[in-house]
Structure 1
Amino acid sequence: MKRILIAEDEPHIFRVIRIALERAGYDVEHARNGEEALAKLKIQFPDALITDIAMPKMDGRELCRRIEEEIPDRQFPIIISTSKTDIEHREWSGKMQNLTFLEKPASLRQLIALLAELLDSSKGTQRGHL
């Protein structure tokens, strides 16, 4: 079963996504902010990470920067869920590989389809331990 880590500070949003992903056959783990997500990533890589941009303690942008800096051999895809569509978000992410933006409002079907596509295209993804 593919394991998905979701970094989301809004409990009700996490619950909705978790239910949809579990119904689609994924194992789901939760991080309430970027700090918690990074700590979990340093223990074991998920098959994919879904993160919000706006979170307390460490936002999604900083989380991605820290992943790039501290986990340079990462092979899992990252989906960034954001309501902001401005070019600023795309510029900071320009050097990162295996990173996809999902603009809100997106349906759960869109999220599941994107996740399946990304996981299918990265069949060589390895789970890692640091």
Structure 2
Amino acid sequence: MTRVLLVDDEPEVLEAWSFGLEYVGYDVERARDGRQALAAIQRQSPDLLITDLMMPGMNGEDLCRALRDQPRWANIPVLLHTSAYVGANDGIGLWDAVLRKPARMEDFLATVAQLTRG
């Protein structure tokens, strides 16, 4: 089963996206910020990381930098799901795809499938 780590500080977002992912067969772990996400990744690497950009504590950009700095995690695909403006040249090499909030569930699931080749 494909394991997805979903990181967002908004409980409603975690709930909605987790439901959608689990409904179509993904194994989902949730984290509320970058620090919790890194702890989860240390326990078990996900097949995909989905993260918000703006979060308290460790934000999504810092999380992605920490991920890319570790050779064993550097190839985990990352979907940035954010309401923040992200320019075409922002985050080069940090994430593999960007979806703006609020994304349609169909677009979200299609992007996840593409990144996990599922």
Same-fold call, TM cutoff 0.5: yes
Gaps of at least 5 residues in structure 2 are none
Deviation at 1:4, TM superposition (A): 0.5
The residue aligned with 1:119 is 116
**Secondary structure, aligned partner of 2:117:** helix
Report Cα offsets for 1:50-91 as digits up to 9, x if no partner.
Answer: 00001111000111111112x22322210001122342x743
Please give the alpha-carbon distance, in whole angstroms, between the structure 1 residues aligned to 2:25 and 2:71.
Answer: 29
Gaps of at least 5 residues in structure 1 are 122-130
Maintained 8 Å contact 2:6/2:14: yes
The residue aligned with 2:101 is 104
**Secondary structure, aligned partner of 2:92:** coil
Query: Does the alignment pair 1:79 with 2:82?
Result: no
Total equivalences in the alignment: 117
**Secondary structure, aligned partner of 1:106:** coil
Please give the alpha-carbon distance, in whole angstroms, between the structure 1 residues aligned to 2:98 and 2:6.
Answer: 14
Point out the structure with max Rg over C-alpha. Answer: 1
Give the root-mean-square deviation of aligned CA atoms. Answer: 1.7
Please give the alpha-carbon distance, in whole angstroms, between the structure 2 residues aligned to 1:102 and 1:110.
Answer: 8
**Secondary structure, aligned partner of 1:6:** strand
% identity of equivalent residues: 38
The residue aligned with 1:48 is 48
Over 3 Å counting, the alpha-carbon distance change for 1:94 and 1:47 in structure 2 is: same
TM-score with structure 1 length normalisation? Answer: 0.82
Please give the alpha-carbon distance, in whole angstroms, between the structure 2 residues aligned to 1:86 and 1:3.
Answer: 26
Deviation at 1:40, TM superposition (A): 1.2
Please give the alpha-carbon distance, in whole angstroms, between the structure 2 residues aligned to 1:116 and 1:63.
Answer: 22
Task: Return the letter of the residue paired with 1:72.
Answer: P
